[in-house]
Structure 1
Amino acid sequence: MRSLFSLALLASVFALVLASVAQATVFEPITCIMLFILTFLSKSDENSLLLTLIFAVVFALDAVLVFGLKYGVFPVVESYFIENIYAYGAQLAVSLLLLFLLRHRMTVAVILTRGKSASVFEKNYAEGPLYLLVIMLVFIDFMALMENFLRNLDRMGVDEEVAKAFWEVTFFFDYFAYLKAVPIILCITLLYVGLIVRTKRQPIQN
């Protein structure tokens, strides 16, 4: 247990460092590469493979959305308010998709394997903590989107004297990359830990 805690702590520190030196267009591909490497490593265990594949596909979609927004949408949008709606809205949609797929992981696994793999019905010990981390991602994205609306109340018809009291509410805007980086890297770490636990248990069960 202590070694797992140390691994999670190191992953959190790594996430903060990576978020501080990398922009979203760099951080997103790095996480995708890590997930696809982990997917390759999980090929011997279908349970871990399908769980990791859910994260890999969703984060790959997220990376495509980030690039699409930055180079296709933002250049033609003149308002930072609208840009943030697109950015945080897309992030929230992706996080909700991940939460939905994780919640229905068993159904997705059965569809992909056509019910021919018994291992997909086995328990993966990483699944519970992963569910909490994904809920955290949804919460961060939702709060960032709501904060963007709060900070721009004057653009939605609220009197400027009232709206200006919220102009400096920028917590999620300022720390968004850091807040997202930690649970994302912890998700990857837990997927790896779950794979290690399952591969170590298989020889014992056999």
Structure 2
Amino acid sequence: MKSLFNLSLLTCIVATICATFVSATVLELFFPVALLVLVVMSKDDINSQLLTLCFAFVFTLSAITLYALKTMIFPLIGSNFLENTYIFSAQLILSLLLLFILKHRMTIAVIITKGKSASVFEKNYAEGPLYFLVLLLVFTDFSALMENFLRNLDRMGVNEETAKMFWEVTFFFDYFAYLKAVPIFLCIFLLYIGLIVRTKRQQIQN
């Protein structure tokens, strides 16, 4: 349906603009651009368009949330502990949202297409691995948040002698960007693979 294509395309464009607006790195900008290209490639595949829309929508929310935190919240806090708590919590909520959207993709598809397209219910071989990769994102965000609390136990009333044993626990903090980038990159790769497989199957059937 053209309406779904337009919605997916618009969301990807907004995601790319948002990523640019929040001064994203080249790697972070690559993700929405890759989704934008994917939407154009899947102009005849509603199933792939919908999956791309799911990721583009959450990526847009992520960029907006990051911008709001950096410009409106962080200047008022002045505490690395609270800043990390806010940002890791936000990332966790967004990853859970993506997981929820993927799980209820078909229900969302019916609402968006008004039940006029049966192709959104067709199997996409990327869905199972995508669900697993998003679970990895949830695990990474949750672990980073818990590590942040562990590293700042003294700020939560724990005796400093006990708390200081965990001050150097920074694995998820140090490698957070990389731990998030790999699953996201693989998600986009799988979206492309899913589109290619579906395109070839349609050509064989025709």
Sort the Cα spacing of 1:139 and 1:24 in 2 relative to 1 into closer, same or farther, 3 A: farther
Matched position secondary structure for 1:124: coil
Q: What is the distance in 1 between the residues matched to 2:92 and 2:57?
A: 16
Unaligned segments of structure 1, at least 5 residues = 1-22
* Matched-pair contact (CA < 8 Å) for 1:28–1:63: no
1-side partners of 2:89 and 2:138: how far apart? 11
Q: RCO higher in 1 or 2 (8 Å CA, sep ≥ 6)?
A: 1
What letter is aligned with 1:157? G
Residues 167-204 of structure 1 show CA distances to partners (whole Å, capped at 9, x for unaligned) of: 01000000001100000010000001100110111121
Quick check: 1:24–1:177 contact (8 Å CA) kept in 2? no
Q: Distance in 2 between matches of 1:106 and 1:145?
A: 31
Counterpart of 2:127 in structure 1 is: 127
Residue 90 of structure 1 corresponds to which residue in structure 2?
90
Quote how far apart the aligned CAs of 1:36 are.
Answer: 2.2
Q: Report the more deviating stretch, 111-120 or 30-39.
A: 30-39
- Structure 2 gap ranges (5+): 1-21
Deviation at 1:24, TM superposition (A): 7.9
Aligned to 1:137, the other structure's residue is in SS state: helix
TM-score, scaled relative to structure 2: 0.86
1:183, 1:173 → 2: CA distance? 17
Aligned length: 184
Q: Deviations over 1:4-60 (max 9, x none)?
A: xxxxxxxxxxxxxxxxxxx98324333122212212221210011101110111111
**1:52 paired to 2:52:** yes
Deviations 1:109-152 (A, max 9, x none): 11111111111111000000000000000000000000000000
- Return closer, same or farther for 1:24/1:138 CA change in 2, 3 Å cut-off: farther
**Is 1:34 matched with 2:34?**
yes
Runs of 4+ aligned residues of structure 1 deviating over 6 Å after TM superposition are: none
Aligned partners of 1:147 and 1:169 also within 8 Å: yes
**Is the aligned partner of 1:201 residue 2:201?**
yes
The two structures have a TM-score, normalised by structure 1, of 0.86
Q: State the Cα RMSD in Å.
A: 1.4
Call closer, same or farther: CA 1:97–1:24 in 2, change over 3 Å: farther
Deviations along 1:49-86, one digit per CA (max 9) or x if unpaired, are 10111011111111111222122222221100000011
